[in-house]
Amino acid sequence: MKDRIINVLAAFESGDIGKSFPLDYCLPLYHSVSDRELPHIKHVIRYKNTKQFEEDLDHLAKNFRFVSWQEFKDYISGDFKPEKKIALLTFDDGFREFYDVAAPILERKGIYACNFVNPAFIDNKDMMFRCKASLLADAVEKNKTIHPEVYRMFSLGSHAERETLQKNILQVNYRGKDLLEGLAEKLEVDFNAYSKEYKPYLSTEELKELTRKGFGISSHSWDHPKYGDLSLKEQMETTNKTFAYLKDNNFLYESFAFPFTDFEVRKDFFDELFKNEEIYCSFGCAGVKLDSVKRNFQRIPMEMGESGEQILKKETAYFKLKRLINKNTILRK
């Protein structure tokens, strides 16, 4: 019902989203751009191809002024006042396609982007558990036979639909990620071999080259846990470990983007985070929303199976709807 209402309201939004957009800044979020099938993310991210990505960029450029990290900071502090509303382009997870596919497009168009990375996966030393789950779901889809033990691991009968098995695999969370290793053995998936052959993540040298080209490389936690499921101590450990990595490599250590979401992250984390005076701000991904923590900015997920234009219209319509009942600000306790 909610989606139907939003779709109806979005249809009434004007084509001039730059004027109707409810905030002065737009923070689009992507993970990857590719014209190829990427088994390690195809079941968890609806990434766009190059044509779709360029169409999004052109629509954004028509309605907003793309800014660099420094310009974004200057804008927030009031030292930079462009004629248009601004857009800061962001990517998450440090996938290789940012270097191979997205960066050349952005260089050609003169657009800055910041990629928030997990150091645990840089140089393909490991793979995020959701990527492992995607590979396993892909194996379930393509293997002619499935070892009966795979079904038993989820208390499913061997007669269960493969789609049900895939759904269970994709629901494995950070705490239960060790289960994926046992599944990999039964499904004959070798995560290490896949990483070695396909190199899904960026290398240290590629990150440094991107920095030399003017792009930002910043913090997305050490290995991509959901922060709402961690204790404050655990939250700070993974954050500080990543911050140290960024400083050691001369990357952008002034910002932090939550992996998954900042849902259920309490005010005490932000109080602790901003004790570090070198951190300028943090980023969530709840769409067009305000936050009671003024230095935490919400980004717009752009990989939702729709065009960027449609996503921005729907986000604008939803914000206006929630504003009527004072529900467009995230409140932290």
134 plus 254 within the same structural domain: no
213: helix, strand or coil: coil
Q: pLDDT of 70-90, one tens digit each?
A: 999 999 999 999 999 999 999
Asked if 121 and 147 sit in the same domain, the reply is no
Residues 287 and 155 in one domain: no
Residues 318 and 213 in one domain: yes
Q: Which residues are bridge partners to 297 per DSSP?
A: 283
How many residues does this entry show for the chain?
Answer: 333
Last residue of a domain, one of 196, 214, 241: 196
Q: Is residue 246 part of a domain?
A: yes
What DSSP letter does each residue of 166-179 carry, written as one string?
HHHHHT--GGGTHH
Q: The domain containing residue 279 runs over which residues? A: 24-125+205-330
Closest CA to 282 of 120, 116, 82, 78: 116
Contact, 269 vs 232, CB < 8 A?
Answer: yes
Do residues 91 and 210 share a domain?
yes
Domain membership flag for residue 65? yes
Which secondary structure element, helix H or strand E, spans residue 90, and what is its range?
Answer: strand 89-92
Q: Are residues 150 and 266 in the same domain?
A: no
All residues at 6 or more sequence positions from 170 whose CB lies less than 8 Å from its CB, including other chains: 43, 44, 130, 133, 134, 137
Residue pair 208/242 in contact (Cβ under 8 Å)? The answer is: no
The H-or-E segment that residue 236 falls in is helix 232-248
Q: What order of strands is seen across the sheet that includes strand 86-87?
A: 25-26, 86-87, 65-66
- Backbone phi, then psi, for 33, in 5-degree steps? -135, 125
Based on the domain organization, do 121 and 167 belong to the same domain? no
Q: What is the pLDDT of residues 112-166, one digit of tens each?
A: 999 999 999 999 999 999 999 999 999 999 999 999 999 999 999 988 999 999 9
Distance CA 56, CA 69 (A): 20
Listed residues 178, 196, 214: the one ending a domain: 196
Rounded Cα distance, 56 and 165, in Å: 34
Contact assessment for residue 99 and residue 206, using Cβ atoms and an 8 Å cutoff: yes
Residue-wise pLDDT for 262-311, tens only, equals 999 999 999 999 999 999 999 999 999 999 999 999 999 999 999 999 99
The CATH number for 29's domain is 3.20.20.370
Residue 231: other Cβ atoms inside 10 A: 8
Indicate if 118 and 239 belong to the same structural domain.
yes
> Which token pair is 41?
């993310």
- Res. 11: pLDDT tops 80: no
179 lies in some domain? yes
Q: Are residues 92 and 210 in the same domain?
A: yes
Query: Are 167 and 46 in a shared domain?
Result: no
**Domain contains 10:** no
Residues 304 and 275 in one domain: yes
Domain count, the chain: 2
User: Which of 177, 196, 215 is the last residue before a domain boundary?
Assistant: 196
pLDDT of res. 12: 67
Strands 89-92 and 113-117: parallel
Instruction: Report CA-CA distances (Å) from 188 to 70, 109, 182, 204, 314.
Output: 47, 43, 10, 30, 42
Give the pLDDT confidence of 170-188 residue by residue, as tens digits.
Answer: 999 999 999 999 999 999 9
User: Do 223 and 309 fall within a single domain?
Assistant: yes
Element (H, E) at 111: none
pTM: 0.95
